[in-house]
Structure 1
Amino acid sequence: MNNKRFSTITIVTVCILGALSGCGSTQPKGITDTQPDKGLPVLGETVTYDPNHLVNEGKPITLEYWSWGSQGSDPVLDMIQPYAKIHPNVTIKPVNVSWDDYWTKLPLALKGKNGPAVFNIHNSYDALIRPYAADYNVDVNALTKDYTTASVHVTDGKVKYVDSVINTGNIYYNKTLWKEAGLTDKDIPATWDEFREVARKLSKWEGDKMTQAGFNFNGGAYNGLWQGLNYQQGQTLFSENGGKANYDNTTTANNMRFLKDLYDKDRVGSINFGNDYTQSFGNGQSAMVYAWGWLEGTMKEKYPDIDYGVFATPTPSKETPFAYDRYNGESTPGVNSHAPKDQQEVAQDFVKYLLANDDYIRAAVKELNSFPAKKQLQDDKDILAQPVMAAIKPRVDRLIWPGSTPATMETSAATAFENVFQNGMGIDQALHEAQQQMDTDMKNSNFVPAESKYEFYGERR
């Protein structure tokens, strides 16, 4: 062996590895905070945060925050610098991991001793991260008073995260096509029967060829529609004991038939009119679509020239339904229960700072185009000036969360839709086959629905 060559390689290697700790240079050791009284006001109303204290006894500390989001799409990132300004001894390092890799890498990191102290959560992966998420060190009663949907996340008197903002489905309509059809704001439909009439006026055909859809739900919208339609009619997505999907029933069949009739009898759309309702709406080919708040980001990025509006999804009648639709929330971050004790304590302090801070929720509303779950901001004039927020506000108390539903509820339902609309299968058979697949997929699932926590659960069918 060439010892000289080996020594050279060793020195280079040490320097490369040492670059992170300042090989050949002086690395700062961090700032020590010696000022407990910051002279700052207490944040929050029920959940409060008093910034006038030392964190980690003022000693320098660094922890990581993992997220699939980036600046402008994850409101937690907006709050790191303001928090560090209050507590200069704390360094929170953001680590971005792509969505495709996140749910593989995060659990592995949380199992070890060097995982992130704080991490982004999506509630659809609740079962995956729950074993590693610490309970919040926050008074749960205070939390449920401030956050209107927090109660659905309470288990055994504890929470691991809550919703910062929530969203649901609405109808997006092309204002230009609306005007061309002679429609005005007075024509915005409140019921599905009124909606059918409006959709007919917005549809255009040249013989057997559709040139403009009045309403388009091709390419994925069915999954939101069937759930919302079922809830409106008092039909829950899961059996009363919560252990089984409730898809193959009369309500689902009637709603599938209603949607099929919109295309086949009312001719407001066509399964052959493209396979992406979002793109069709963005290209000005479809006058109305059902979508959640994310559509606004897509429109802004890809179709900025389309003049569109938003109105609340119609209901079967003008009477208040069991629920207007389902909702889903964007989660507050989790704290790693396997992180070192000092990092956990700082992470808990940071989470409490977020929960008490209206700026965090305002950032979430803006970046995620979703309605504030924080009660104190639900009447905010600036927030309600946004069309989606204005549409959600009157209905927010009558939105239901089914829980972190198994993927089969959407994948199997999507197959049923394709079988009926594209493959000519009968509705009853399609629903039956989808139910069988759901039963198979959920056989060994530990999923527990949250429907029974809905305030008006007793009004279901």
Structure 2
Amino acid sequence: MKKVGLILTAVLACLVLLGGCGKKTADADKDTTTNVKSSKKVTLDFWSFWGSGARREVIESIIKDYNESQDKVKIKYSYQPWGDIWTKSLSAITAGNPPDVIVQDINSVAQRADAKQATDITKYLDKGINKRFYSQLFKTTQYQNKTYGLPFNTDTQVIFYNKKIFKNAGLTDKDLPQTWSELDAVARTLDIKKDDTFTRIGFYPLWSLDTQVWALNADGGTSWFNDKNQVKIDTKNKRKALQWILDAQKYYGKKTINRLEAEFGSGVADPFLSGTVAMRAQNINYYTSIKENAPKDFEFGVIQLPEFQKGSGHKTWGGGFTLEVPTGAKHVKESVDFIKYLTSDKVQEKFGAASFDIMANKKANTNLINGKQLDETGQMIYKTADQAMSSTVLTPIPLSAPDYNNLVNEQIDAALLGQKSAKQALKDAQTAVENLVKQHK
């Protein structure tokens, strides 16, 4: 999910601008919501991008349970391909025939609320429903003190490590890195280099995580913007974070990094699963890939992201998705009732057990940790994720700078390509984003 935020930033910036364009209709986008008089049921069209595998199976099972649990509403599930779902939903909203419930990116709720693409559902919610969720997740659903959706699932970034490699190197649980300096020391212990070629890499920070995660980890949980939406890109600790990444790149060499990057995501050829990489930072549900592709004797553990320095906190990044009622939906109350069902304890527990997503509902995660639905390894991972959620930072996209990530990434890429120093890259990024904010004001 980490990459989701970066992809969606550009897409969502375009969607907000397109929201005011002329109406557009297409038969493929027409809503099939009807009030079926013969059955006296309201049909709700529910859109998501879960089109295959465990997520498709479990959401269809959940919908079946809901349809059979009452006789007033029928949920029709509409799969929309990833990447298409948000542009299609905007077209449907503009045309006045949107879906009734849709899965949306959690870090861009305010954008849709401000652009009048999402419905204020505050009056339909039970008092205290916010207590179901991790506080930072529910906070992202708020715009001008109103609620525009409910959190569904989330993620958090951790480090997976190969237990056998650690053991063979003489490292025990006491040696698991808790700070960046310890992470470097352990990585050097696990590195294997023959002549000029690394045959094993201890740890490289940009495999699956981007600079933003390490920057906020180093800066006490403050990302490119602080809580007051002030630009905080060029700070002392963020410079140190980017320099640390550049040092790691120089140490391993671009050829080695590029070679292994090409192998990540290729199932059984995954360098972490093959033992070529000893530690890998990843979203917690990387476990699903391990279960599918790892050798039978593969042993691994999970730890939180190490602290920048002792006492600074194991800060990490999270994303995820919300359930929203698009503007113009005809059956808001019924739609919100379905959303409340999808975020209830048992339903969230069922989805989490099948998908291995970290659910927005705290109690559901606790039940998965302590219940019998998961094996010992699964419970361990959920427990680590639950602990990490207290240090997990979300990064809602500021209304004043919807496409700021492009400007930041351009400068960071320049540093990684050796065109700029860490100091100069972040200074230029700070200036570029500040100018963007001024333009929007």
Q: TM-score range by the shorter chain?
A: 0.7 to 0.9
| Residues 417/339 of structure 1: CA separation in 2 closer, same or farther (3 Å cut) | closer
Q: Is the Cα–Cα contact under 8 Å of residues 111 and 397 in structure 2 kept in the other structure?
A: no
Aligned AA for 2:362? Answer: K
| Residues 119/187 of structure 1: CA separation in 2 closer, same or farther (3 Å cut) | same
SS in 1 for 2:224: coil
Alignment partner, residue 435 of structure 1:
430
**CA positional deviation for 1:186:** 2.5
**CA positional deviation for 1:255:** 1.2
SS in 1 for 2:321: strand
Within 2, Cα distance between the matches of 1:197 and 1:238? 31
Within 2, Cα distance between the matches of 1:61 and 1:217? 50
Q: Is the Cα–Cα contact under 8 Å of residues 195 and 314 in structure 1 kept in the other structure?
A: yes
Within 2, Cα distance between the matches of 1:91 and 1:304? 44
Within 2, Cα distance between the matches of 1:410 and 1:203? 33
**CA positional deviation for 1:159:** 0.9
Within 2, Cα distance between the matches of 1:165 and 1:177? 33
| Residues 236/101 of structure 1: CA separation in 2 closer, same or farther (3 Å cut) | closer
Aligned length: 383
Within 1, Cα distance between the matches of 2:294 and 2:406? 28
**CA positional deviation for 1:140:** 6.0
Q: Is the Cα–Cα contact under 8 Å of residues 47 and 79 in structure 2 kept in the other structure?
A: yes
Query: Where does 1:5-404 land on structure 2 (aligned, <5 Å)?
Result: 32=39, 59-70=40-51, 72-73=54-55, 76-126=59-109, 129-130=112-113, 131-136=116-121, 137-139=123-125, 141-149=127-135, 150-218=138-206, 221-232=209-220, 235-238=222-225, 241-242=228-229, 244-264=230-250, 267=251, 269-275=252-258, 276=261, 279-303=270-294, 306-319=298-311, 321=313, 324-331=315-322, 333-340=323-330, 343-355=331-343, 357-380=344-367, 381-382=370-371, 385-404=378-397
> Once the two structures are superposed, what CA deviation does each residue of 1:4-23 show, in whole Å capped at 9, x if it has no partner?
xxxxxxxxxxxxxxxxx9xx
SS in 1 for 2:280: strand
| Residues 301/351 of structure 1: CA separation in 2 closer, same or farther (3 Å cut) | same
Q: Is the Cα–Cα contact under 8 Å of residues 218 and 308 in structure 2 kept in the other structure?
A: no
Within 1, Cα distance between the matches of 2:338 and 2:227? 39
SS in 1 for 2:154: strand
| Residues 443/294 of structure 1: CA separation in 2 closer, same or farther (3 Å cut) | farther
Within 2, Cα distance between the matches of 1:408 and 1:212? 38
Aligned AA for 1:402? Answer: T
Within 1, Cα distance between the matches of 2:126 and 2:439? 31
Alignment partner, residue 42 of structure 1:
none
Aligned AA for 2:301? Answer: G
5+ unaligned residues in a row in structure 1: which ranges? 1-20, 22-28, 33-58, 447-461
Q: Is the Cα–Cα contact under 8 Å of residues 119 and 334 in structure 1 kept in the other structure?
A: yes
TM-score of the aligned structures, taking structure 1 as reference length: 0.73
**CA positional deviation for 1:240:** 6.4
TM-score of the aligned structures, taking structure 2 as reference length: 0.76
Within 2, Cα distance between the matches of 1:144 and 1:293? 24
Larger Rg belongs to:
1
| Residues 165/178 of structure 1: CA separation in 2 closer, same or farther (3 Å cut) | same
SS in 2 for 1:108: helix
Q: Is the Cα–Cα contact under 8 Å of residues 107 and 140 in structure 2 kept in the other structure?
A: no
Q: Is the Cα–Cα contact under 8 Å of residues 200 and 277 in structure 2 kept in the other structure?
A: yes
Alignment partner, residue 52 of structure 1:
none
The CA RMSD measured in Å over matched residues stands at 3.1
**CA positional deviation for 1:128:** 5.5
Q: Is the Cα–Cα contact under 8 Å of residues 218 and 274 in structure 1 kept in the other structure?
A: no
Aligned AA for 1:154? Answer: Q
Q: Is the Cα–Cα contact under 8 Å of residues 176 and 307 in structure 1 kept in the other structure?
A: yes
Q: Alignment identity in percent?
A: 22
| Residues 369/410 of structure 1: CA separation in 2 closer, same or farther (3 Å cut) | farther
Q: Is the Cα–Cα contact under 8 Å of residues 215 and 242 in structure 2 kept in the other structure?
A: no
**CA positional deviation for 1:183:** 2.0
Within 2, Cα distance between the matches of 1:253 and 1:111? 43
Q: Is the Cα–Cα contact under 8 Å of residues 171 and 289 in structure 1 kept in the other structure?
A: yes
| Residues 114/424 of structure 1: CA separation in 2 closer, same or farther (3 Å cut) | closer
5+ unaligned residues in a row in structure 2: which ranges? 1-31
**CA positional deviation for 1:348:** 2.1
